[in-house]
Amino acid sequence: MRKLNNPFLKNGKAMILAYDHGFEHGISDFNDFSLLPENILELAANNGYTGLVLRKGLGELLFPVSKKVPLIIKLNGKSPFLRENDSLVSADCSVKYAQELGAKGVGYTIYLGSQFEKEMIKEFGKIQEEARERNLITILWLYPVSKEILSWENFTANACRLGLELGADMVKIKYPGSKEELKKARKYCPSLKILLSGGEKLAEEEFLNNLKESLKAGLDGVAVGRNIFQQEDPESMSKKIQEIIFG
């Protein structure tokens, strides 16, 4: 199988805007700016973003978004009503439909350490094969099912290696707390595109420092949402991130 051209990269780096947080976290994550999808599309198109993550409902609303910025449709996720983290999170959108919406890539989360890890790995395996047939990029969110697991020795490197061996084109990981852990992930996955997850809103300086450390450790960019939308000036924050990644 030939290697696909990756439309989400610029000079080998990615700066992806994630806008699936309404599904994942509920309306508490919104402010006057971010509750309007049109604002997000404009932000993504005019501030150097190489990709935009949407759920299928917003993909329908903003169709065809890919003419302004390459689209990633997120195929699964957990709602804010799910009390038990250790639950099966299955796809609610097909690869075929994502492509019909104009997507150039599809995203999927595996919650590592979950009792349903095996089922999610199996489902992603089928998604990856169909995405290959349709010339779509696969982006794998590799999240620990609990914060405790994130702190385990070699968790991040092992997670990235799992993504590599599952055939993901890119993986999205949480910041593990140290540059050394990220260097280890880079060492054991030299060909894999590894992106830092934005996660919960941090102070601007803390987030930007985490991003700088991640890039120094060899990561290939960021997929970020709340640390853009919830900042006082999303456009200014976008430009700072753009300068760090591409400048």
234 half-sphere exposure, CB direction, 13 A CA radius: 23
19 is catalytic: no
Return the beta strands (E) in 55-192 as ranges: 71-74, 105-112, 137-144, 170-173
Q: Give 154-203 as a DSSP string.
A: THHHHHHHHHHHHT-SEEEE---S-HHHHHHHHHH-TTSEEEEE--S---
pTM (2 d.p.): 0.95
| 164 has a pLDDT exceeding 70 | yes
Residue pLDDT, tens place only, 31-71: 999 999 999 999 999 999 999 999 999 999 988 777 889 99
Rounded mean pLDDT, 146-169: 94
Cis peptide preceding 176, ω within 30 of 0: no
> Given 74, 172, 179, 193, which residue is catalytic?
172
**Token pair listed for 45:** 């198109």
Backbone angles phi, psi at 107, to 5 degrees: -115, 150
Confidence of residue 75 (pLDDT cuts 50, 70, 90): very high
Q: Give the start-to-end residue ranges of the domains of the chain.
A: 14-246
**Portion of the chain with pLDDT greater than 90, in percent:** 82
Which pLDDT does position 112 carry in this prediction? 95
Q: Is there a catalytic annotation at residue 108?
A: no
State how far the Cα of 125 lies from the Cα of 138, in Å rounded to an integer: 11
- Tell how strand 14-18 and strand 51-54 pair up: parallel
| pLDDT category of residue 217 using cuts at 50, 70 and 90 | very high
Q: Which residue among 143, 179, 184, 193 is the active-site one?
A: 143
Task: Specify the fold of 14-246.
Answer: TIM Barrel (3.20.20)
